Structure 1
Amino acid sequence: MSEESKKSLVPHFTIGAIVLAIVLAVVFWPSEPEPEPVIVMPEPPVIIEPVIEEQPTMLIPEPVVEQPEPEIIPEPEPLDISDGTIKTKLLTLSDYDTFARLLINDALLERFVIMTNTLAEDGIAANNRILVKPEKPFRTYRQADKEWIDPASFKRYAPYVEVLESLETASLLQLYQEYKPAIEKIFSEIGSPSDNFEEKLKDAIDVLLDTPEVPFPVEVYTESVMFKFKDTQLESLTAPQKQLLRTGPENMRRIKAKLREIKETL
């Protein structure tokens, strides 16, 4: 479009604008003249506080925690330390019928504790043995004006060795653990407060295991109706060791084997 043409259109835009303004005035302006507006100051708004209804306090019950019923632990039955019960339990450990005949019938626990304590101190508790004495006497024979232990004497110890070997070690120690509280109570009455019965038991076993192996026959002599070893080294052994020697080499080997098994299990 030329510059002249643009100039010719300007009045038309101006007239159009005026006409549009008049139309708007006719349409939106009131037809009658209004009075002067009265300026009314607005009243301050009334602030109505919201009414907060007080909610009733809800009591929330605490959760009920069910308490488990206390477990009723039955009191252990008192340990039966009667000789009849102990002997019955001991007899179940062996299928050897002679065991019942060899066992002493009274004060078995007391005898066992005293015998063990005495043996650990290199002595023999003759009045507190738990097995009866052998029926047959100790025998010797004379040869070349010397007195020797008769090998026939070894046979009188055979029933005791067979009973010992027939005892199942694990079951024997289980029975020992069952009666250990009663055993320790008895030991506390006769032993030193610093001593421990189980250590005494091991010491007693060691006394017997330390018995030397000697060749037989062994020469002895009689003094005040007692047999003594002619060999001074053997005679200087402890009383339990000399007693073990008198059982003979084969019986002693079998007894030691069982004692080692018991000691290892302990």
Structure 2
Amino acid sequence: MSENHREGNKKPSNSQLLFAAVVVLALIIVAVFVLAQKDTPPSENQKVKQDIVVPEPAQTSVVNTATEVEPEVLVEPEAEREIPDTREPETPAPTAIAEPEALVLPPLSQSDTEIKAAVANFMSNQAVKLLADDDVIRRTVVYVDNLANGKIAEKHSPVVKPQDNFSVIDDDIIITDPNSYERYTPYVAMFDTMSTAQVVRLYDQYKPLFEEAYEEIGYEGNEFNGTLADAIDELLATPIPDTALPLIKESVTYKYAYAEWEQLSAAQKQFLRMGPENMKKVKKRLEEIKSALNK
């Protein structure tokens, strides 16, 4: 299904590092709570504390007799003490902690309905209609794999093509019609609707299916994370033009008149067709996603 196979080692998945960071953060919160309790002075137990009352000794008159009488010895009464409870404290029964239910993913071949439903939680119905009708995950994997090599796998696009055609302004020089940029605005809006955290969470949730699809085209599943990073880097490396770029017509197609733009990869030249403003929005989000994946 893939139009291009990539060779070489790719970056490993960072899911374990993400999990470790969450565990460390939890331990820090617990430690701060315990230390805060130690800094609080202990309060006195008013129930145990007793006032000790020492009675004044009674005065005894001295009798002058021939027989010597031993003086009366006054014994102070002991303060009342509580009898210590020597019974072992009862150990409370451990509270059962409910194990979180593991997410059950659908089979890869039956995942389209669930994927679209998950995306629909963050997007409008109009945006969801931009997704392909079938094999969304497989299409995404093949498209990303080619994109990482600077190629466009049009037959495997995970979204439907724009309805309007590419158009130019043919005057003294040929340039892209700025109205053509608007063809991609709904796609950029769809991409920009979800927050970076939602994008990463959705990807992480269905990562096993992405890895399964990646294995189907001949790779190790855990290498897909690195391929995704390579595809992001390919687009981030695309320069954003400050002015309209002159074109040259060749039969029914167009190419850039300047070599520095024409020598860009097919993926980068396709990215240019979105127009400067759309490119800036997409690049900003790609930077955020790349940063989140590398944490």
| Bigger relative contact order, structure 1 or 2 (CA pairs below 8 A, ≥6 apart) | 2
The correspondence for 1:196, drawn from 223, 231, 238, is 223
The correspondence for 2:152, drawn from 102, 106, 124, is 124
Q: CA 1:207–1:191 in structure 2 vs 1: closer, same or farther (change >3 Å)?
A: farther
Aligned partners of 2:114, 2:130: CA distance in 1, in Å?
16
Partner of 2:105: 79
Q: How does 1:73-152 map to 2 (within 5 A)?
A: 76=102, 78-80=104-106, 81=108, 82-94=111-123, 96-144=124-172, 146-152=173-179
Choose 165-174 or 254-263, whichever is displaced more.
165-174
The one-letter amino acid of 1:150's match is D
CA contact (8 A) 1:136 1:156 kept: yes
- Structure 1 gaps, min length 5: 1-70
Partner of 1:253: 280
2:192 counterpart SS class: helix
The correspondence for 2:199, drawn from 154, 172, 181, is 172
The correspondence for 1:206, drawn from 223, 233, 257, is 233
1:227 counterpart SS class: strand
Aligned partners of 1:88, 1:206: CA distance in 2, in Å?
29
Aligned length: 195
1:102 counterpart SS class: coil
CA contact (8 A) 2:214 2:221 kept: no
1:138 counterpart SS class: coil
Aligned partners of 1:250, 1:74: CA distance in 2, in Å?
44
Aligned partners of 1:225, 1:239: CA distance in 2, in Å?
17
Whether 1:220 aligns to 2:250 is no
Look at both structures and tell me which one has the larger radius of gyration over its CA atoms: 1
CA contact (8 A) 2:188 2:278 kept: yes
Aligned partners of 1:130, 1:124: CA distance in 2, in Å?
12
CA contact (8 A) 2:212 2:221 kept: no
CA contact (8 A) 1:98 1:163 kept: no
Whether 1:235 aligns to 2:259 is no
Q: How does 1:51-70 map to 2 (within 5 A)?
A: none
- Structure 2 gaps, min length 5: 1-96
Deviation at 1:117, TM superposition (A): 0.6
CA contact (8 A) 1:108 1:130 kept: yes
Aligned partners of 2:105, 2:244: CA distance in 1, in Å?
48
Percent of pairs with identical residues: 37
Deviation at 1:205, TM superposition (A): 0.3
The correspondence for 2:212, drawn from 163, 185, 190, is 185
The one-letter amino acid of 1:91's match is A
Deviation at 1:101, TM superposition (A): 1.8
1:123 counterpart SS class: coil
Aligned partners of 2:98, 2:195: CA distance in 1, in Å?
36
Q: Deviations over 1:184-230 (max 9, x none)?
A: 12112214449711010000000000001222211112213111111
Q: Using structure 1 for the length normalisation, give the TM-score.
A: 0.68
Deviation at 1:114, TM superposition (A): 0.5
* RMSD between superposed Cα atoms in Å: 2.3
The one-letter amino acid of 2:105's match is L
Deviation at 1:258, TM superposition (A): 0.8
Aligned partners of 2:247, 2:187: CA distance in 1, in Å?
24
Aligned partners of 1:229, 1:214: CA distance in 2, in Å?
12
Q: Using structure 2 for the length normalisation, give the TM-score.
A: 0.62
